[in-house]
A and B are shown apart, each in its own frame.
Chain A
Amino acid sequence: MIWWDVAADYLVALFRTARQALGANPDALQQAAGFGWAVPIGIAIVAGASMMTGQSLVLAINRVPRRRGVLTVAAAGLGSVAVAGLEAVLVWGLARLIVGESRPITELLPAVLVGFAPYWLGFLVLLPYTGPGIARVLQIWHVIALWTLLTPVLGTDRGTALLVTAGAWLATVAVDFVAEHSPLRLRERLFRLLTGSKATTSRDLMAAASSPVVPQ
C-alpha cells in the first residue's frame, strides 16, 4: 500500500468519524478503529484550527503577518488537543467521584477528542453578527457530542453520563477563564509569543480611539 492510499483512507476515516460525531452517534469512535489515536487527534487539531480561523479577526486587527498567522492557527489546533487532555482529566476525576469509575484516562481521551468535532464548523464564527451566537451553539453541540460518546465508554446510564460531561465541560470553561483572567494571562502570553504582537481587541480600539493603541 503506497502512502497516498494510507492518507486517503485516513482522511475518509477522519471525515466519517467527524460526521458521526456531529450527528451525536455513540458509535462514531468505531469509524476511527483502524488508525488508533491518529483520527481522534486529527479531529481535535482540525477543530482548534477551525475555531482559530473563526476568531482570526484578532490577527487582522493586530496586523499579524501572514506566516505568523498560519503558525497561530496551527498552534491553536495543537492547543485544542491540550484542552481535550484537560477535559479528559476532568471527566476522569468526576467519573471517579460520581460513579466510582476507575478507567484509565487513555480510554476516555479518544472520546473527548472526537467530541471536538462540532468545532470543525468554528470557522463560521467569522460570520458577522451571527458569529458569537454560532460559537455558543457549537459549545452546546460539543457537550452533546461528548455526552453521547462518553455514555458507552463510561458504562453508565445517560443521566449520570450527562452529569459527568456537563460538570467536566463547565470545569474546563472555569479553568480556561481563570488561566486567562488571572495574572497568568496564559492565552494572551501565548498569542504574543506566536504572533509577536500585543493582543489588541476590537474593544481596545473603541476604548482608546483617541490615543495610539497598536504598537508601531
Chain B
Amino acid sequence: MIGQVVVWIVIALVIAGLVAPNEALTWWRRGQQGRRGVEWPSLAEAFALPGGEPGEVPAQLPAETDHYLVYLSGIGISGPEQLPVFETPMVERLAERVGRTTVIWDIYPYSPANTALTQGRRLSRLWRRLVAWKSEQRLGAVAFLINLRNAFQVLVSVDRRYGPVFNWAIAQQIAAALLRHGYVPQHRKPVTLLGWSGGAQIAAGAAWYLSVLGMDVRVISMAGLLGSDPGLDRARQIWHLHGDDDLVVGLGVVLAPRRWPIFANSEWNRARREGRLQFVSMGPLKHTGKGGYFAAGPLLPDGREPRQATADHIVQVLVDAGLASDNFAAQPEV
C-alpha cells in the first residue's frame, strides 16, 4: 500500500516536472522575443492586466526615486496582487523604513506572464480552493501544492536550457513593474532585486536581461535557494543574507553543485573571488515558522522581533552601499 502511494507520488511529481516549463515555452512561442532582443515594454504593455488584457495608463506616474527595490517573494505566493500573509508585515516595515527608494512587490515571479494561479488558468478553480485553504491554514499538505508548483518554476529558472527563456520573461515583468512605479529608463537609477528563498534564483536569472536593458542591477539573496546562475555575472553586487539556524539555505548549497568550491570558475565562485558576493549573517534565524525571517517571535537575544532583524539587515546593506537611507535613523521614534 505504502509502496503504491510512493509510486503514485513519484509519477505525479514527474508529470508536474514535465509540464513545469510549459508556461515559459508558451510565452516564448506566442511572443516576438528573440526577433528584436530584450526591450523595455511600452507603458501600455506595462499597465496591461495580467493575462495581457489592456489596462489603463494613469495620466500621472509615480515620482521617480533614487533607487528601486524589487521584492521577489518565496514559493508560497500565488499571484501578483497579494503577498503571502506572513510576509506582508516585514515587507511593509521595509517599505516604510527604506528611504529614497521605491519598494515594488507586485510581481508574481513564478509566472512568465505574471498571471496569478487563481485567474485565467485551466486549473484556476483548483488553485483558488488551495489558496483559500492556505489562508485558512487548513489542509496544509494539500495547500502545499502551491509551493510545489512554484518550486518547479525555480527549477525551470535554474535550468540552463529553460532558464534563459523563463528569466527573460520575468525580467520583462520586472521592467514593466518598474515603469508602473515611475522608473525612467533613460536615468538608469540603480535597481536592487531582493529575492527571498526561491525568489533569489529568479532575481539572479533576471539580472542578466535587466542589465541588457541598461540597468545597474544588484541582487540581495535573502536566505536564497539559488544556483550559480549566469545572471550573477551581470550583477554589480550580490549580498547573500542568511540566518545561522537556517538549514534550508545549507540544503540549497548541496543542491547547487556549481556553487561548490571545486567549480572555481562558476559564476558564484567568480563573483565571490571578485568581491562582488558578500555573505551577511542575520543572526539566529530559521527559514520559516517561529524564529523565521518573517516571524514576530520568539524575540531574539537582543530583544528584536525576527522580522525586525530581517528588515534591519536589508536596510543596513542598502544604506552601507549608498543606495538608500534609513528613514527611522533620520527620524528616530520617540
Mark contacts of B230-252 with chain A using CB atoms, 8 A cut-off: 1 yes-contact digit, 0 otherwise.
Answer: 10000000000000000000000
Interface stretch (choices B104-112, B132-140, B154-162, B283-291): B154-162
Write 13 A-B pairs (CB below 8 A) sorted by A numbering. A57-B161, A57-B162, A63-B28, A127-B18, A131-B159, A132-B161, A202-B164, A202-B165, A203-B160, A205-B34, A206-B164, A211-B37, A213-B37
The residues of A that contact B29 with a CB separation of less than 8 Å are: 60, 63
Residue of B whose beta carbon sits closest to that of A56: B25
Q: Are A126 and B165 in contact (CB under 8 A)?
A: no
Find residues 193-216 in chain A having any chain B CB closer than 8 Å to their own CB.
200, 202-203, 205-206, 208-214, 216
Docked Cα-Cα span, A214 to B34, in Å, equals 5
Q: Are B35 and A202 in contact (CB under 8 A)?
A: no
Q: Are A128 and B162 in contact (CB under 8 A)?
A: yes
Residue of A whose beta carbon sits closest to that of B24: A60
Q: Is B20's CB within 8 Å of the partner chain A?
A: yes
Q: Are A212 and B164 in contact (CB under 8 A)?
A: no
DSSP class of B's interface residues: helix, strand, loop or mixed? helix
Q: Is B61's CB within 8 Å of the partner chain A?
A: no
Query: Interface extent on B, as a size class?
Result: 20 to 34
Q: Is B294's CB within 8 Å of the partner chain A?
A: no
Q: Closest 9 interchain pairs by CB?
A: A214-B34, A128-B155, A129-B155, A60-B25, A202-B164, A127-B17, A205-B164, A128-B159, A128-B156
Q: Is A137's CB within 8 Å of the partner chain B?
A: no
Q: Which residues of chain A have a CB within 8 Å of any CB of chain B? A: 57, 60-61, 63, 123-124, 126-132, 200, 202-203, 205-206, 208-214, 216
Q: Are B18 and A210 in contact (CB under 8 A)?
A: no
Q: Is B38's CB within 8 Å of the partner chain A?
A: yes
Residue of A whose beta carbon sits closest to that of B167: A206
Q: Is B183's CB within 8 Å of the partner chain A?
A: no
User: Closest Cβ of chain B: how far from A125's Cβ, in Å?
Assistant: 9
Contact A124:B14 (CB < 8 A) given known A61-B28, A209-B208: yes
